[in-house]
Amino acid sequence: MIKIRNLVKYLGGRKILKNISFDVHKNEIFGLAGPNGAGKTTLLLVLSTVLLPDKGEIKIGRYDIRKDSAKIREIIGVVFQENLLEEELTVSEYLQILGRLYFDKKKVNERVNAVMNLLNIKKYASSYIRTLSGGMKRRVEIARALLHKPHLLFLDEPTSGLDPKAKRSLWNYIKKIKKTTTIVLASNNMEEIEICDRVAIINKGKVIKIGEVKKLKSFLGNIIEIEPEPHVKPKIPFPYKKINNNFVIYNARRNMIPKIKNYRRLEFKKASFEDVFYYYVK
């Protein structure tokens, strides 16, 4: 669905994206994980044709991003990090107005009803957008992005500012629409990346690791995380990595635990994607 080769992008004289290359497959949820400032949003802006690449090749479907940007915009939907809704309109009014850019009146009604049902916001059709919760506004934004049946959906920090319940609900809808839409999801929320099929970890404008989320976690196996006592280094007779003042042993076994001394807290657990992230991001 997406082919990126040696992408370079400068902003304000700074090299933001540095020779990025990867592919995104049809009907997968592909994650872009990285700390703030890693280049995730800039990459989405390039892929959604808001910015043009300075160097490199990008194809979306069969279209070249430099030659066919208008065609690409017909087949993509985008939900940016910032709220871009018209909040003085009702949900139905907002979606109807946008739908008329693509369809005749009869088709608009069908599509608006379809996306409202998909995102479970039909009961809010007559509500003014300004009265909705953050989670409901996010659903309206995704409904807007899906109106024209895009082949590809870009989501930039889609659950930013949402409470845990709203996040879970939105993740469920993202997984639901995967059946018909390829999704690229950029986030620095490691729990959010867990819903992706594959992920590219980006740091300082470079892709430092790419792979299936499940395989990246299984590579680390079980881990032991050790919180030290203040000003006392624990005794750890195994290879470890220091992360955020804690000590982490990868591919750990339970029989290691009795040999570790002088610590405040010790946890034995399966590796999460957050553990994968800290393993690769220095």
Phi first, then psi: give them for residue 125, nearest 5 degrees.
-55, -40
Domains of the chain: 2-213 (3.40.50.300), 221-280 (no CATH)
- Reply yes or no on whether the pLDDT at 282 is more than 80: no
Can you tell me the mean pLDDT for 52-60? 97
Percent of the chain with pLDDT over 70: 100
Label each residue of 194-249 as H, E or C: CCCCEEEEEECCEEEEEEEHHHHHHHHCEEEEEECCCCCCCECCCCCEEECCEEEE
- Reply yes or no on whether the pLDDT at 253 is more than 90: yes
Can you tell me the mean pLDDT for 115-124? 89
This prediction's pTM: 0.88
For residues 118 and 32, the model is more confident at 32
- Reply yes or no on whether the pLDDT at 179 is more than 90: no
Lowest mean pLDDT, pick from 58-67, 87-96, 157-166: 157-166
For residues 119 and 235, the model is more confident at 235
Which pLDDT value is given to residue 180? Answer: 87
Which pLDDT value is given to residue 87? Answer: 93
Which pLDDT value is given to residue 169? Answer: 81
